[in-house]
Amino acid sequence: MSAMKKRRDAAISWFERQPVWRLAAMGSAMVVLQWIMGFLRGGARSAILYFDIAVSLAFLLAALIFIARLKTVLAHERELANTDYLTKAANSRYFSEALGREIDRSRRYGHVLTLAYIDIDDFKQVNDRFGHNAGDGLLAAIAGKIKENIRTVDVLARLGGDEFAILFPETDGQGAKIVIDRIRQNIDRTAHGRDWPITMSIGVITCPKVPVSIDKLVALADEAMYTAKQAGKDTVTYREYAT
């Protein structure tokens, strides 16, 4: 990456982080400075000078309103691109990116990480008995319950259908178990209260040393989940990655 592109990207990133009031203050200061420079050059206090200042301020205000709306739209579009429309969890693309970043960070600093792979047992029965709208509502409710029990730094994603994954940065197996147990209890209560005939099969893989790739880590967690399902469903298989 060229030095010019780095400077441009840094400038764009800085601009996007600034609140509108700060941009307004900077713009206003520039207009006032322009007026001062014109006055010092002998521009006097003519009506034309004041008219120019008013026009400049009006354009500044219009530009700031446009910038504020543009930033809102861009933030919303970015969120939509990273979010599953039904459950409001992260989508699989964003999850892969987040997992890749966390693998790199864990490899660099030696942090442990844990990945949980969740499959909803007997989800098809909900669709068959209550209809697809009820199935969609179930998935959204499960995602909501999971979000209530994880940290803001954890990443919940819907990988497709009735399968979810949770990334727990800097979390060992025991720490993940506490959260997983709490999630299962809350979802069991919700399922019983709504007469949903579902449970969860979960595979949890903890990595003191991270695998070589995203696909490898996801495959290990998926394999642990299938072990839980084959053991009779409604259970959790915990494993530790051994290099």
User: Which sequence positions are flagged as catalytic?
Assistant: 162
Chain centroid, CA 37 distance in Å:
47
Length of the chain (residues): 243
Dist CA 237 CA 201 (whole Å) = 8
Nearest 5°: the CA angle 72, 81, 201 is: 130
Contact 204, 224 (CB under 8 A): yes
Chain centroid, CA 75 distance in Å:
12
Nearest 5°: the CA angle 193, 194, 197 is: 100
Q: Which amino acid is at 101?
A: R
